[in-house]
Amino acid sequence: MSETASAWKAVRDRARIDEADAVAALREALVLPEGLRGRIVEDALRLASRVRAASAGSLRAEAFLQRYGLSTHEGVVLMCLAEALLRIPDSETADALIRDKLAGGAWRGSADGSGALVNAASWALMLTGRLAEWREAEGGADAVMRRLVARAGEPVVRAAVRQAVEIMAGQFVAGETIDQALARAARTPRYRWSFDMLGEAARTAADAERYLAHYHQAIAAVGARAGAELAPETRPGLSIKLSALHPRYEPAKRARVLAELAPRVVGLCRAAAAAGIPVTIDAEEADRLELSLEIFERLAREPGLAGWDGLGLAVQAYQKRALAVCAWVAALAAGTRRRIPVRLVKGAYWDTEIKLAQVLGLEYPVLTRKAATDVSYLACAQALLAARGRVFAQLATHNCHTVAFVLACAGARRDFEFQKLHGMGDALYEGLVADRGVACRVYAPVGSHRDLLAYLVRRLLENGANTSFVHQVADRAVPLERLTADPLALLPEPYAPSRRVPPPRDIYPGRRNALGLDLADARVLERLERRVAADRARVRSVRAGETAVVEPSDRGRVVGAVRHAAPGDVDAAVRAAHSAWRAWDARPANERAAILERAADAIESAIEALVSLLAREAGRTFADGVSEVREAADFCRYYAARSRAEFGSPLALPAPAGESNRLELAGRGVFACISPWNFPLSIFTGQVAAALAAGNAVVAKPAEQTPLAAAAAVALLHEAGVPADVLQLLAGTGEAVGAPLARHPDLAGVAFTGSFETALAIQRALAAREGPIVPFVAETGGLNAMIADSSALPGQVVADVIGSAFDSAGQRCSALRVLLVQEEAAPRVLEMLAGAIDELRVGDPGRADTDVGPVIDADASAALGRHIADLETRGRLIARAPLAGEAAHGTYVAPVAFEIALDDLPRREVFGPVLHVVRYAARDLERALGAVARTRYGLTLGIHSRIDGFVDRVRARLRVGNTYVNRNMIGAVVGVQPFGGEGLSGTGPKAGGPYYLHRFAVERTLTINTAALGGSPDLLADES
């Protein structure tokens, strides 16, 4: 294996390794001569003292962040206000936002004048140096501001915040245009420069084109000004974010990204090479790292770029594989005979990485201790400095200890450079550049104020954080000795990850979070594709008396076959279950729980087989399949935990003297669990696990279209220890199996998920039975709306609309059907929505790059086709996704969005990838909400707004089971977002919620007259 190939393997293998192992490797790699550590700390202390002295009383960014950073509550409010105010198109909503924030207590300035309202205006004033005048004014700035707002109202705040942001922009952005930035750079010749064109990640092809053009213009402009006399390493350069250059820069789209994005970057690099300026590929989220390295390798091997030493890469030290990435770059440099500039950063997305790993149930890709990130940085810096000749080390940091370490390692060498962010670290680097002869490059964002905020919020988040060096250096309460301590000495021995950041498996009390599959790992995706192909190749013959199950993605492919229950089977199954349930109910809750937990483990272990089955039988994409398998495991563990807590020991109740009272929960008998095809594994398993956990026996009837996933779940539950008679599966149609099952006289209850109409039929059947009245838990559909006002972030709205409306081909009960968007925001939102729909790949769910699979069967696609035909006559087509070639053999419906009038809202659930969009005027909000309320469904609701009052108003008007604010509205997590609706949407209690098991149980009290046994010793004892 070549040096590059083995380094690449290490990069992959170390992505999510155990943190203690990662830190052990770092410690081993870090070699420091005796005594050097102490000298580094001394130097760090000197540097930090100078920085702190310089920042006192100045208007530097450090001081600014100290006072107004995101770690203060008012800082958060203020950033939210500023961020939204800059882009809200209508002043009515802008003022509503201001009123909203004013109404919150945070805006009433405190006595010492530190309230956020004061801050809003004093931002601007402080930075222009006029704050003192205000503070000295009668009554202080606080009173002045309040008088001013009272007199002039919201427009004053609006203007103040706008001005403040503009001044902030001046601090953190080098210019609105590249020419302005170049002019600024020319005034500061002691620094080198790298320009970054601000912008969000591209969501549409048009966005990506626009950013590409910006980069080309910037290269031309920088090239034209980059004096030819400058040595190559000192020349100004450009930093590039790959996410800006492709709308689907995602691991699952690898082939497409390599085919489409790589040539664009090659084009940029050629232009940069011709202009003689260096380029750095910025580091973004961890799940994009491998893809970015693959593109980087292409660039490094590109014949047209041979001999160009301007091709650079940013590496994040907080990633567990950082050191491996450094080794890989060095190997690549050697293999391609070039010197690669490597910008070492600590990383800007730490909180995002932590959250994502928890959501996906994956080990963290980043370290969880700040000191560990620092140590990683030191080890990587040392490796890069050691690789001189192959690597040009660019050490980006504002941390004095980190700088002191680099200086100590480098000794007399000056063949490296430091880097800092524009508007930060000046106090540190001005001295260093002058006194120690080191070079420093400024990372200088360029862009309009509108584009600034995403960047700014990241900076503030990172640098306003209590752990951050720049934050602490400005805080006189933090002793500098602590701030400049040796990070190696701060690591615990033996090493353990931070307690503040629990492992992703342990974030929920009482149960484990289900393990995920890393769909950012190309090897996992390849394995899943191979698995589906292999499963398809195993031809399953259909025997006499069996019914074939075919793939919705290709009706010619048989997934398997089942034997439908015969007429007498229903009765036999219920009777057998009935005679088995008492023994099951009599088992301690703990035992039942342990069996369910074993089943959860088994489901997790079978994840790849189950994802393949779901892709084939139900048309689920890999991402959908993984989350469904995880949900099934979560249900088992959650109900196990609830059963232990509530069924394990009786609840003691209050009692008068001489009496004991307790309440016990127990199983009811035999439950019928009737589940749908749209979550053939998780809903099926959830119902069954709940009934079993509560001490019931179960006769389960899965949807006719998806019996195999149900059979797989039953097999795993049986293997885990659920007796065969206690859990029985009956495949068949609703008429032949479901109807007689629901009528059976020995049933103790029914759990049903499906259409409202079927639920009603079951309810009638139950009502017509003689004997005890039994519980009926029904989860039915919804006509779910999302409402976005003009304070919402269009990019976020569109991403959440795409996921909510089209994931699982829109076949989720929670899926978005009606998007209400405020008219002022509509043009931008709908343009982006159309572009994002164009980017969807609709095709075989057995392929890793498919976003949307088929709908379940021909009946479903025909019904959707009729609805779409109707919309074509009444609505305006916004966009329709293209269908991939392979879609011809399956039941596919291309995701589509229509704009319709409010009066044309559908009356019934449209179960597929069809989105209805309605524009509303702010003054007509009530009418729009009324139209949604009149559908009488109440399952899920999405709200996108920065205005809390707006969220409250919508929530008060619409009675809905699950509301999601500023996020997508699907994917409820067991125990975290208990799921279920009201009105036409279901009976409750919520699945995956704390009250669910109660509906499957009987309650019994036991009262004992303890006095009858010989008095009340407790009472008598109290006499003393």
Residues forming contacts to ligand FAD in the complex (CB under 6 A) are 282-283, 314, 316, 318, 343, 345-350, 367-370, 372-373, 396-399, 402, 419-421, 443, 462, 467-469, 498
CA angle 794, 782, 907 (to 5 degrees): 95
Rounded-to-integer distance, Cα 737 and Cα 700, Å: 10
User: Cα separation of 839 and 849, whole Å?
Assistant: 11
Compute the least distance from the CB of residue 215 to ligand FAD, in Å.
Answer: 15
User: Could you identify the residue written with the tokens 């572009």?
Assistant: 835
Q: Respond yes or no: is residue 326 known to be catalytic.
A: no
How far apart CA 778 and CA 814 sit, in angstroms, is 15
Take residue 592 and report the two structure tokens written for it.
């039942």
Task: Name the catalytic one among 284, 636, 813, 909.
Answer: 813
313 Cα distance to chain centroid: 26
Which residue number, 141 or 181, has a Cβ lying nearer to ligand FAD?
181
Pick the closest to residue 833 from 788, 783, 781 (CA basis): 788
Cβ closer to ligand FAD: 350 or 581?
350
Shortest CB 26 distance to ligand FAD, Å: 12
Least separation in angstroms between CB 369 and ligand FAD:
5
Catalytically annotated residue among 779, 824, 839, 909: 779
What is the sign, positive or negative, of the torsion defined by CA atoms of 225, 228, 230, 235? positive
> Shortest gap between Cβ of 198 and ligand FAD (angstroms)?
13
Closest-CA residue to 135 (of 115, 158, 113): 113
| Angle at which helices 36-55 and 426-436 cross, to 10° | 120
| DSSP one-letter code for 564 | P
CA dist 330 → 48, 226, 335, 857 (Å): 32, 28, 9, 53
Q: Nearer Cβ to ligand FAD, position 285 or 839?
A: 285
From the CB of 838, what's the least distance to ligand FAD, in Å?
A: 29
Least distance in angstroms from the C-beta of 453 to ligand FAD? 17
Q: How many CB atoms lie within 10 A of CB 930?
A: 13
Return d(Cα 963, Cα 814) in angstroms, integer.
10
Min separation Cβ 942 and ligand FAD, Å: 30
Residue 707, CA distances (Å) to 33, 550, 700, 877 in order: 66, 11, 10, 37
Q: Considering the complex, what minimum distance in angstroms separates the CB of residue 296 from ligand FAD?
A: 13
Cα 747 to chain centroid, rounded: 42
Residue 813 annotated as catalytic: yes
Max CA distance (Å), the chain: 105
Min separation Cβ 401 and ligand FAD, Å? 8
Q: Are strands 937-938 and 982-983 parallel, antiparallel or unpaired?
A: antiparallel
Nearer to ligand FAD, 122 or 373 (CB): 373
Q: Cα torsion at 603, 606, 609, 611 (round to 10°)? A: 50
Select 316 or 687, whichever has its Cβ closest to ligand FAD: 316
The answer to whether the peptide bond before residue 794 is cis (omega within 30 degrees of 0) is no
Q: Which of 860, 858, 573, 597 is nearest to 701 (CA)?
A: 573
How far does CA 806 lie from the centroid of its chain? 17
- Can you read off the two tokens belonging to residue 192? 């080198």
Give residue 369's Cα distance to chain centre. Answer: 21
Nearer to ligand FAD, 323 or 883 (CB): 323
Query: In angstroms, what is the minimal distance from the CB of 476 to ligand FAD?
Result: 17
Element (H, E) at 949: helix 948-957
Which C-beta is closer to ligand FAD: that of 198 or that of 708?
A: 198
Return the amino acid letter for 2: S
Residue 86 backbone zone (phi > 0: left; psi -120 to 50: alpha; other: beta):
alpha
Q: Which of 692, 513, 731, 671 is nearest to 587 (CA)?
A: 692
Contact 792, 826 (CB under 8 A): no
Asked if 47 and 428 count as a contact pair (C-beta separation under 8 A), the reply is yes
Residue closer to ligand FAD (CB basis): 397 or 808: 397
Shortest distance, CB of residue 459 to ligand FAD, whole angstroms?
8
Q: How many angstroms from the chain centroid is the CA of residue 331?
A: 34
Choose between 168 and 894: whose C-beta lies nearer to ligand FAD: 168
Nearer to ligand FAD, 45 or 573 (CB): 45
* Closer residue to ligand FAD, CB minimum distance, 424 or 748: 424
Tokens of 868: 């779409």
CB atoms within 10 A of CB 109: 23
Give 316 or 682: the residue with its C-beta nearer to ligand FAD: 316
In whole angstroms, how close is the CB of 8 to ligand FAD at the nearest point? 21
Give the containing element (helix H, strand E) for 612. Answer: helix 607-618
Cα angle 289, 181, 223; round to 5:
75
Nearest to 900 by CA among 914, 917, 912: 917
Q: How far is the CB of 799 from ligand FAD (least distance, A)?
A: 20
The three-class DSSP label of residue 33 is coil
Angle ∠(821,824,826) on CA atoms, nearest 5:
45
Assigned token pair, 768: 């017509």
Report the residue number, 22 or 801, with the smaller CB distance to ligand FAD.
Answer: 22
Going by the DSSP 8-state scheme, the letter that residue 509 receives in this structure is T
CA-to-CA dists, residue 996 to 25, 489, 987, angstroms: 47, 50, 11
List the catalytic residues.
779, 813
